[in-house]
Structure 1
Amino acid sequence: MTTSEKLYPVNGVELCAETFGDPADPAVLLIHGGSASMLWWDSGLCRKLADRGLYVIRYDQRDTGRSTSYPIGRPGYSMRDLAADAVGLLDALGIDQAHVVGQSMSGGTALVIGVDHPSRVASLTFVSTSTEADDLPPPSESMPHLDPPDFADPASVEEYVVRSIEAEYLGHFDEAAARDLVRRDMARARDFEASLTNHYAMSFDDPVNGGFGDLTMPVLVVHGGLDPVFPLAHGEAIRDAVPNGRLVVIPDVGHGVPAARWDDLVDAIADHTASR
């Protein structure tokens, strides 16, 4: 573990987190998507946000990175538990309120936090995610079908995740950077097979106190114009579902925001949080 990472006891589990910037600045809590450890919020992106006057927190959710892992296929938690973990991590860090950013699958986690723990949320940002409404378009036909890897063969696992990144990042794919990320992620995970499996096996329970229309804090939606996982209509649906939602489209990117477009994401988040 690097000296800047720390394990926090939260809700009976251990969560590994890392912070960037001045603790006196407004806090922003970054929650990445399914199977993704905190490394998927690149440290360079985190530093850019910190340079804009934000105290940045990235962390490993359960079953990713150095946080508590569960038996493969048997996660002992639901999405509401992951939301409670985020609030518990804020408690552990001594933070009363944070700007919450949820990416992809973790848009659902961010929604639960915003609806069920509104006093802890200064603003919400949904990145590359969806309302999951039945009438929204399916993933693009350009998304390839990838056979599951041989988990006994690390090279097979690495190749599977790299090819998954390639499919999501479209023309902005950087193979060397992707392989470096995957190798670091595999090296620090308690159980990488559980990381790739368990988030998709948990219970996806809804907030207790409502849905998108019940959010009371300012809401920003950031979406790639070419997102092949959740086509742009998904981001538009979130904007339309929340009170006074605002949508920022990054026109030429897919499901993930590449390094070449970090400034667009940083500008959107910094502008959204500046007056909150």
Structure 2
Amino acid sequence: MRINGVELCFETFGSPSDPAVLLIHGACASMLWWETELCTALAARGRFVVRYDNRDTGLSESYPPGQPGYALSDMVLDAVGILDALGVARAHVVGRSMSGAIALALGVEHADRVASLTFVATTTGDPDLPQMTEAFLEASAVESSSDVESIVSVLRAYAGSSPYFDEEHVRRLAVQDVARTVNLESAMTNHFRIEFDAPRDGGFGDVVAPTLVVHGSLDPVFPLAHGEALRDAVPGASLLVLDSVGHDLPRPVWPEFVDALVRHTA
């Protein structure tokens, strides 16, 4: 649909009469990385699940590589526009990695549209928090290329030392993602070039929605201290630590994640 002046692709699971859960993925990732089976499992527990392609991913609006014609504030309005298009007054918003910033801006600037917030593998951005692990920096320090194997390699690095990394599952998703992405080079680069201009007035301490923080114990990108700091920054927030998980959400922990999200969105 044309939303907020651009073409956005989204998909829903479950009944619109159930509480809505809006899944927003992080940098470079299309909605496919909120796996269909995971969305179906949430829908089966009485949730109206919405996933979508952010700009420059999947089938949504694409811009020239290195020249994103939008800022984070535009991506926030995209999320609001999708809720409007679906007739959803309030949604349980789940922001993953970079899109924790989108979730935060929704919670601060559009609090009336947010029933709850969940931050998955994200950070407050405090410069005093631990840096990315040396192992991750070494594994990811390769020239970026837009093909299936490079995506698999990058996601292997994001999983860190987790025993749950499923290379064949990741490769199958990468093949699907490459096939449906308008411009893969733009998808792999443009989110790192945008201006993070939201929220403009407020921060984590101003969030009033019930908040759940979900973080992997082995996250090599934002080590666990980032999740703990985020929990402490949001009034009343709780933290779910996924044992032996990196900067991803692997299949073996889906039951634990789904149970926690269902409780949080009840």
TM bucket, shorter chain = over 0.9
- Matching residue within 215, 233, 247 for 1:255: 247
Counterpart selection for 1:194 from 174, 186, 209: 186
**CA RMSD in angstroms, aligned pairs only:** 0.9
Of 146, 151, 157, the match for 1:161: 151
Aligned to 1:211: 203
2:69 is the alignment partner of 1:84: no
**Whole-angstrom CA distance in 2 between matches of 1:22 and 1:9:** 23
Conservation of the 8 A alpha-carbon contact between 1:15 and 1:62: yes
What's 2:51 paired with? 58
Contact 1:224 1:232 in 2 (8 A): yes
Distance 1:230 1:137 in 2: 7
Is residue 225 from structure 1 mapped to residue 217 from structure 2 by the alignment? Answer: yes
Identity of matched residues, %? 55
* Distance of aligned partners of 1:150 and 1:37 in 2 relative to their CA distance in 1, 3 Å threshold: closer
Q: Which runs of 5+ in 2 are unaligned?
A: none
Contact 2:100 2:123 in 1 (8 A): yes
TM-score normalized by the length of structure 2: 0.97
**For 1:150 and 1:140, how far apart are their aligned partners in 2?**
22
Using the alignment, how far apart are the partners of 2:103 and 2:86 within structure 1?
18
| 1:145 shift after superposition | 3.3
Q: Structure 1 CA distance, aligned partners of 2:218 and 2:79?
A: 30
Give, in angstroms, the shift of residue 149 of structure 1: 3.6
**Is the CA contact (8 Å cut-off) linking 2:56 and 2:63 kept in structure 1?**
yes
What is the aligned counterpart of 1:146 among 141, 153, 177? 141
Deviation at 1:9, TM superposition (A): 1.0
2:110 to 105, 114, 117: 117
Indicate the residue corresponding to 1:173 in structure 2: 165
Q: Secondary structure at the match of 1:209?
A: coil
Q: Report the Cα distance in structure 1 between the residues aligned to 2:124 and 2:60, rounded to whole angstroms.
A: 28
Instruction: Give distance in 1, aligned partners of 2:222 and 2:228.
Output: 11
Distance 1:202 1:52 in 2: 36
Cα deviation per residue 1:73-93 (whole Å; 9 max; x = unaligned)? 010111111011000110011
**Contact 2:140/2:157 (8 A) holds in 1:** no
Q: Determine helix, strand or coil for the equivalent of 2:95.
A: strand
Deviation at 1:150, TM superposition (A): 4.2
Question: What is the aligned length?
Answer: 262
Following the alignment from structure 1 to structure 2, what is the Cα–Cα distance between the partners of residues 229 and 208?
26
1:109 partner letter: I
Cross-structure match for 1:243: 235
1:123, distance to aligned residue in structure 2 (A): 0.2
Counterpart of 1:171, as a letter, is: P
1:270 correspondence with 2:265: no
Structure 1 stretches of 4+ with a deviation exceeding 6 A read none
Could you tell me which residue of structure 1 aligns to residue 18 of structure 2? 25
Cα deviation, residue 172, structure 1 = 1.2
How high is the TM-score relative to the length of structure 1?
Answer: 0.93
Residue equivalent to 1:39: 32
Contact kept, 8 Å, 1:148 with 1:160, in 2: the verdict is no
Instruction: In structure 2, give the amino acid aligned to 1:99.
Output: H
Cα distance in 2 for partners of 1:264, 1:29 equals: 19
